[in-house]
């Protein structure tokens, strides 16, 4: 366990904004993690838990309390057989993409489409991380946490995690700190059925077909790089939290109202505007936040040459052009949210966690 004072939080996040941490404790084992969290709570101090910092926007004032940085590691194979697949336990501080690399190398199928996502494994159930037709809720069997209220370790089965689109019980409840995550993955050299149309096209296959795990990973990384979604210190398009807004989910009636409004605002009698529509299993409709942002007048690179701007590669990413403050990031995100609401009547919801900030 290492304790430091007055550390720049901007150095610990992929958005690269944030003031000083009054106190930073870095933990390397699960026991240290529990001890550090317990000590902060016993002292009744404010607590901020950081893993890879890929989903945080921290205020320029920093954090007046204790920041616990999770650097635990380890992937343990708990069982492996052709029928049950591989059951693996992953420490919260394990770099997520390293987990995917290991899965591809071992012939564990089910998370290959989540290649290139920054951050640590412990954050994946919190956000129900997903991309290219996969999400971790499909393969997580259990999440072990430290319950800050009860001061004890507790294990949640998948059904009790409250997984929904980019959300979970753990995101809604700050009382739980993830210690490790158990995944159950299929054994084999082929990917899970490819569910994302753009990825299928890139692989020259039909949606639902399988490809070698290595090919799936390579194609996903290529897609992410094209969108500026693979962290590269030399590329300001990747100084971001990835997608800043979640795709809106609404009732079928609300979608019809959105479609009518979009046609009125953007279309003409002989030019039908079609708002993207993806029906969900529970009868709701998901649409594209990127489509709404662009059609509301915020194109790629919007805000350049300012300190914060939309990525030149993807309209969903709010980026730091190298000299942005947290206030600049939030101001741009607020402008985009309000602009989309004015044009389409839809309120976009931020995906990253805002610390000491609000839209």
Non-local CB neighbours of 151 within 8 Å, separated by 6+ positions: 38, 41
Confidence at residue 304, expressed as pLDDT on a 0 to 100 scale: 98
- Residue pair 122/171 in contact by the 8 Å Cβ criterion: no
Catalytic residue among 69, 243, 295, 337: 243
Intervals of the chain under pLDDT 70: 268-270
DSSP 291-354: HHHHHTT--TTTTTTSSEEE-SS-TT-EEE-SS--HHHHHHHHHHHHHHHHHHHS----B-SEE
Cα pseudo-dihedral 90, 96, 97, 101, rounded to 10: 10
Phi-psi category of 128—alpha, beta or left, where left has phi over 0 and alpha has psi -120 to 50? left
Q: What is the helix (H) or strand (E) element at residue 181, kind and residue range? A: strand 176-187
pTM above 0.85, yes or no: yes
> From CA 189, how far away is CA 148, in angstroms rounded?
41
Q: Give the pLDDT of residue 324.
A: 98
Active site residue 243: yes
State the Rg of the chain over Cα: 21
Answer whether 2-70 and 75-226 agree in fold.
Answer: no
Known active-site residue 191: no
Residue 233 CA, chain-centre distance (Å), reads 19
Domain ranges of the chain: 2-70, 75-226, 236-355
CATH number for region 2-70: 3.30.43.10
CATH architecture, domain defined by 236-355: Alpha-Beta Complex (3.90)
Domain 75-226, second-level architecture: 2-Layer Sandwich (3.30)
Q: Are 59 and 356 in contact (CB under 8 A)?
A: yes
pLDDT tens-place string over residues 290-319: 999 999 999 999 999 999 999 999 999 999
Is 166 assigned a catalytic role?
A: yes
pLDDT at 326: 98
Alpha helices for the chain (secondary structure H): 30-42, 96-106, 123-127, 169-172, 197-203, 213-226, 252-266, 289-295, 326-344
Q: Pick the catalytic residue: 166, 217, 224, 227?
A: 166
């Amino acid at each position: 366990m290492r304790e430091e004072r007055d550390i720049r939080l901007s150095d610990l996040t992929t958005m690269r904004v944030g003031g000083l941490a009054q106190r930073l404790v870095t933990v390397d084992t699960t026991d240290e993690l529990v001890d550090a969290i317990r000590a902060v709570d016993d002292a009744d101090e404010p607590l901020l838990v950081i893993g890879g910092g890929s989903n945080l926007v921290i205020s320029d004032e920093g954090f007046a309390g204790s920041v616990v940085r999770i650097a635990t590691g380890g992937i343990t194979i708990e069982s492996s057989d052709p029928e049950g697949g591989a059951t693996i336990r992953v420490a919260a501080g394990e770099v997520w993409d390293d987990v995917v690399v290991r899965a591809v190398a071992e012939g564990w199928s089910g998370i290959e489409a989540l290649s290139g996502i920054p951050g640590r494994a412990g954050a994946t159930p919190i956000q129900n991380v997903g991309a290219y037709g996969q999400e971790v809720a499909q393969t997580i069997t259990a999440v072990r946490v430290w319950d800050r209220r009860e001061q004890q370790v507790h294990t949640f089965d998948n059904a009790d995690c409250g997984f929904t689109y980019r959300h979970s019980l753990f995101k809604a409840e700050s009382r739980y700190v993830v210690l490790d995550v158990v995944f159950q993955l299929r054994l084999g050299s082929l990917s899970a059925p490819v569910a994302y149309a753009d990825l299928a096209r890139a692989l020259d296959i039909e949606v639902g077909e399988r490809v070698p795990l290595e090919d799936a990973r390579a194609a996903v990384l290529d897609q992410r790089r094209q969108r500026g979604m693979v962290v590269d210190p030399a590329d300001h398009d990747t100084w971001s939290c990835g997608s800043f807004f979640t795709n809106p989910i609404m009732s079928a009636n609300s979608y019809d109202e959105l479609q009518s409004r979009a046609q009125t605002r953007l279309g003409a009698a002989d030019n039908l505007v079609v708002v993207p529509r993806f029906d969900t299993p529970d009868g709701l409709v998901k649409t594209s936040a990127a489509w709404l942002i662009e059609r509301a007048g915020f194109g790629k690179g919007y805000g350049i040459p300012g300190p914060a701007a939309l990525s030149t590669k993807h309209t969903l990413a709010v980026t730091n052009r190298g000299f942005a403050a947290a206030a600049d990031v939030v101001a741009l995100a607020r402008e985009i949210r309000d602009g989309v609401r004015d044009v389409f009547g839809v309120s976009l919801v931020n995906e990253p966690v805002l610390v000491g900030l609000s839209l």
